[in-house]
Amino acid sequence: MDLKAVKVCPYLTVSALYFKTKLSCHNYTVYNLVTNHATCYWSDETASNLTASTFVNFLLDYLVHHCRRKKLPIIMFSDGCTYQNRNTIMSNALSAFCVQHQVTITQKIPGRTQ
């Protein structure tokens, strides 16, 4: 799971018009290594902000729709970005998901795991 580069919509080359109509769009991607299935969550700056709760909502939506039924252990690989993946909101939400759905989640972050 990772937040990809910000895309500006619409893409314009005229600088004066560009700064008046710029809209930032964000792409949060979750990729399943077992099934080779990717899910992208697109949002613009008017619909969501870049806070931990936004990323938690995206991830929980993915887990509910794709990982809830199988009851298999879930291993998540993510970068070490604090506001996206390494915060109390994310850990509390994943803990609640584990208890509610009776699964185990291992979160692997560079520099923190072996």
pLDDT tier for residue 38 given thresholds of 50, 70 and 90:
very high
Highest mean predicted confidence (pLDDT) among 16-25, 41-50, 78-87: 41-50
| Terminal-residue alpha carbon distance, the chain | 19
Q: What is the pLDDT of residues 46-97, one digit of tens each?
A: 887 778 888 889 999 999 998 877 788 999 888 766 656 667 888 899 999 9
CB 7 within 8 A of CB 27: yes
What's the whole-model pTM score? 0.77
Domains of the chain, by residue range, sit at 2-108
Q: What backbone phi and psi angles, to 5 degrees, belong to 104?
A: -110, 140
Comparison of pLDDT for 90 and 112, the residue scoring more = 90
CB 64 within 8 A of CB 84: no
* Average per-residue pLDDT for the chain: 80
Omega before residue 73 within 30° of 0, cis: no
Q: What percent of the chain has pLDDT over 70?
A: 75
- Nearest-CA neighbor of 108 among 76, 84, 61, 65? 76
Question: What are 41's two structure tokens?
Answer: 């969550």
